[in-house]
C-alpha cells in the first residue's frame, strides 16, 4: 500500500472519482466544482418533495447553508439521450458483441457464465468498453 499526503489524495480524488470514462459527466463536473470552490449553486424557488423529510431533524433553511436534501435543489440529473443497443436476451451484453465472442444472443444466462480467463462474460464485455491503457489504478 502506498501512502500519500492529504493534499495529494485530495487532488487525486478530484481528478479520478466519479464517472470519468470516457469523460466526466455533468453531475460529477458539478460536484467536483462544488468541492473545489466550496460553493453550492442552488436552484432558486425550488420546491423539494416534502414526503422525503416529514420528520426532518434539520431546520427548514438548512439547504441555504449547503445541505442538499434533494437533487432538484442543484439542478437535478441530466437527461441522457441515445440509441440503445440490441440485446435480445436482456442480459446486458449487446447481441453484436455476443455473436462476435461466440455467445448466444438468445441465452440470457451466458452473461454470468465464466470464460476461460475466469472472468464472467459480462465482465469481459464491460472491460472491452474502455481502452485499458487509459485506466490508471
Give the whole-angstrom CA distance, residue 1 versus residue 55: 43
Q: Please, which residues bridge with residue 114 across strands? A: 120
| Residue carrying the nine cell digits 447553508 | 65
- Quick one: average pLDDT of 124-129? 92
Least confident of 21-25, 53-57, 68-72: 53-57
Q: Is the pLDDT of residue 66 over 70?
A: no
What number of residues does the chain have?
137
Whole-number pLDDT of residue 120: 97
Query: Per the confidence metrics, is the pTM higher than 0.85?
Result: no
Q: Where are the beta strands (DSSP E) in the chain?
A: none
Whole-number pLDDT of residue 85: 94
CA 57 to chain CA centroid, nearest Å = 29
Whole-number pLDDT of residue 136: 61
Q: Is the pLDDT of residue 54 over 60?
A: no
Amino acid at each position: 500500500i502506498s501512502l500519500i499526503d492529504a493534499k495529494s489524495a485530495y487532488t487525486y480524488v478530484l481528478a479520478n472519482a466519479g464517472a470519468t470514462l470516457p469523460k466526466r459527466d455533468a453531475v460529477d463536473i458539478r460536484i467536483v466544482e462544488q468541492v473545489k470552490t466550496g460553493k453550492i449553486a442552488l436552484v432558486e424557488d425550488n420546491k423539494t418533495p416534502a414526503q422525503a423529510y416529514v420528520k426532518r431533524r434539520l431546520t427548514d433553511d438548512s439547504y441555504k447553508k449547503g445541505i442538499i436534501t434533494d437533487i432538484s435543489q442543484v439542478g437535478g440529473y441530466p437527461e441522457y439521450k441515445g440509441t440503445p443497443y440490441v440485446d435480445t436476451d436482456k442480459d446486458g451484453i449487446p447481441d453484436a458483441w455476443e455473436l462476435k465472442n461466440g455467445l448466444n444472443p438468445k441465452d440470457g444466462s451466458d452473461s454470468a457464465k465464466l470464460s476461460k480467463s475466469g472472468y464472467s462474460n459480462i465482465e469481459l464485455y464491460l472491460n472491452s468498453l474502455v481502452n485499458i491503457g487509459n485506466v490508471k489504478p
